[in-house]
A and B are shown apart, each in its own frame.
Chain A
Amino acid sequence: NAGVTQTPKFRVLKTGQSMTLLCAQDMNHEYMYWYRQDPGMGLRLIHYSVGEGTTAKGEVPDGYNVSRLKKQNFLLGLESAAPSQTSVYFCAISPLIAGARETQYFGPGTRLLVL
C-alpha cells in the first residue's frame, strides 16, 4: 500500500518544453488535487478532481491542464513551461466520506526547475 506516489521526483525543463506529472493513488479516494508550493506563499491549488472523468480549476490554473481518465491517476500537464512554473508540486487525495473528506493526504512532491 503505497498511498500516494508522484512521478517524477525531480525534473529540469527548458522554457517552452512540455511535460506531464503523474499522481497515482491506491487508496481508492474520490478527490484528487494538485498544489504548487512556493517560498512564502504556502500551498496553492492548481486544479482538482472530484471523481473519474471530472476536473475543475483551482486558485492558480493558468498554464496547466489536467486529466483524470482513471480514478487512481491524476495527471498535471505543462504545455509550454515558463520559469514562473519553477516550484514544488504536490498531489493530494481525500475520501468521499463525509466527516473524512476534509483530510488531505499528500504525495511526496515533484521538484520542477524551468530554465
Chain B
Amino acid sequence: GENVEQHPSTLSVQEGDSAVIKCTYSDSASNYFPWYKQELGKRPQLIIDIRSNVGEKKDQRIAVTLNKTAKHFSLHITETQPEDSAVYFCAATLSGGYQKVTFGIGTKLQVIP
C-alpha cells in the first residue's frame, strides 16, 4: 500500500520567514496530493492541493510543488504570520471508485512573532 513520509515533525520560524514542509510517497500511481491545516483543537481543513499533471500550484502565500519522478511534494509558506501556526498534514490519494487517502504524520509549525 501507499506510504507517506513527512518531515520535519516540528518547525519553528520567525514571523516573516518562509517555511517548507516536505513529503515523499511510495506508490507511483497516486495522483492527487492535498495539504491540510489543523489548528489546535480544530478539524483538519484543506488549504491547497495538486494533481499529478501539474508541477506547481500557488494560492497567495502558499504554494505546493510536485516532483513525480522523485515522488516527493512540498508545501511552501512565504511571509509567515502567527496565524500560520498549526499542524500541517500532507496526503497522497489513489483515485478510483473509493478515494484511499494516506496521510503523513503531520508537521507542527510554530511562527514566532
Q: How far is the CB of B109 from chain A (nearest CB, A)?
A: 15
Q: How far is the CB of A98 from chain B (nearest CB, A)?
A: 8
The reply on B20 being an interface residue by CB < 8 A is no
Contact A43 B89 (CB under 8 A): yes
Contact A50 B93 (CB under 8 A): no
The reply on A2 being an interface residue by CB < 8 A is no
How many residues on B have C-beta within 8 angstroms of the other chain's C-beta atoms? 22
8 Å CB contacts to A: which residues of B35-61? 42-46, 49
The reply on B14 being an interface residue by CB < 8 A is no
Contact A106 B44 (CB under 8 A): yes
The reply on A11 being an interface residue by CB < 8 A is no
How many residues on A have C-beta within 8 angstroms of the other chain's C-beta atoms? 21
With beta carbons under 8 angstroms apart, the residue of A42, A45, A108 that contacts B43 is A108
With beta carbons under 8 angstroms apart, the residue of B32, B34, B99, B103 that contacts A31 is B99
B6 nearest CB neighbor, chain A only: A42
The reply on A25 being an interface residue by CB < 8 A is no
Q: List 17 A-B contacts (CB under 8 A).
A: A40-B9, A42-B89, A43-B44, A43-B103, A45-B101, A48-B98, A50-B97, A56-B98, A90-B43, A102-B49, A102-B95, A102-B101, A103-B46, A104-B34, A106-B43, A108-B42, A108-B43
Q: Which residues of B contact A (CB under 8 A)?
A: 6, 9, 32, 34, 42-46, 49, 89, 93, 95, 97-101, 103-106
Q: Which residues of A contact B (CB under 8 A)?
A: 31, 40-45, 48, 50, 56, 90, 94, 101-109
